[in-house]
Amino acid sequence: MYNQLAINSNTYHGYSLVEAVKGASEAGFTKIELAAVKDHTPHVLPTMKADERQWVKDLLQQYGMTCVGIGAHSNVMREEGIANLMESIDLAVFFDCPYIVTATGDAHNDADVIEDEAVLIRNLEPVLEKCEKLGKTLVFETHGNNFATGVSLKKLVQSFHNRVKINYDTANVIFYGDVLPYEDLAASVDVVEFVHLKDKLGANNEWNFPAIGDGNLDFGRLFTILQDGNYQGPISVEIEFTKDGPANLAEVNEAVARSFNYLKKLLES
């Protein structure tokens, strides 16, 4: 599973993509999930011009990084969210990565209540048709107000008859869903194709996501569940610190390096 490790560039929220790629590469990562969330972490965006996209591709090549996914969180209950996903598929094509990651609601402060899943399913029809045509996979993250656990998302993705999969966030299920990830992941791993590997400290509803290995999660147990489920997808490390954020870029780089070293030691043992 060591070869499945990637860095989520959202770890470098507030910093440039150059800083993210350089820091992650120096830590040992060779794969990256590119954050594409307007007004939050816009490391790439569908509105980029051709030369801007090529600049990003050249940057990744310079540091020996491969893109494994586009983190394009969109509110799929709104027209603008669907439009953003449609355009984000083109980003996945350009960067030759198989996955587009989203939740069902807003990236942050998700307050919408989805009362009719049939509307959500209908909204996504053009997105899924385009994904199928271009060989891309849409993965829903355990996130937010409506589908905060793997079990709840599994029921949803099964409505799409294998056209949608789960992006399992190991700490979001605690923060949003108030459940530990172990039994929940085991119950949903058969439809998981992307993982956000995130640690957790503090109360369940406290925004505290430190470097991997610095929190309370048992990653050995989580990797065993993934292995038993024959999980083959990316394992994208995401560090979101506390509400105050990191003090500076050096703190981010140090947390990324510490996470990589912890996981390397754990997985190689």
Q: What is the pLDDT along the chain (269 residues), one digit of tens a residue?
A: 889 999 999 999 999 999 999 999 999 999 999 999 998 999 999 999 999 999 999 999 999 999 999 999 988 888 999 999 999 999 999 999 999 999 876 555 656 666 678 888 899 999 999 999 999 999 999 987 788 999 999 988 988 877 799 999 999 999 999 999 999 999 999 999 999 999 999 999 999 999 999 999 999 999 999 999 999 999 999 999 999 999 999 999 999 999 999 999 999 98
Give the start-to-end residue ranges of the domains of the chain: 2-268
Q: What is the pLDDT of residue 117?
A: 81
Contact indicator for 235, 4 with CB cutoff of 8 Å: yes
Domain spanning 2-268: CATH superfamily: Divalent-metal-dependent TIM barrel enzymes (3.20.20.150)
Q: What is the pLDDT of residue 163?
A: 79
Contact indicator for 189, 232 with CB cutoff of 8 Å: no
pTM above 0.85, yes or no: yes
CA angle 132, 96, 10 (to 5 degrees): 100
Number of neighbouring beta carbons within 10 Å of residue 236: 29
Q: Tokens 């470097």, residue?
A: 211
Q: Tokens 């027209």, residue?
A: 79
Contact indicator for 153, 166 with CB cutoff of 8 Å: yes
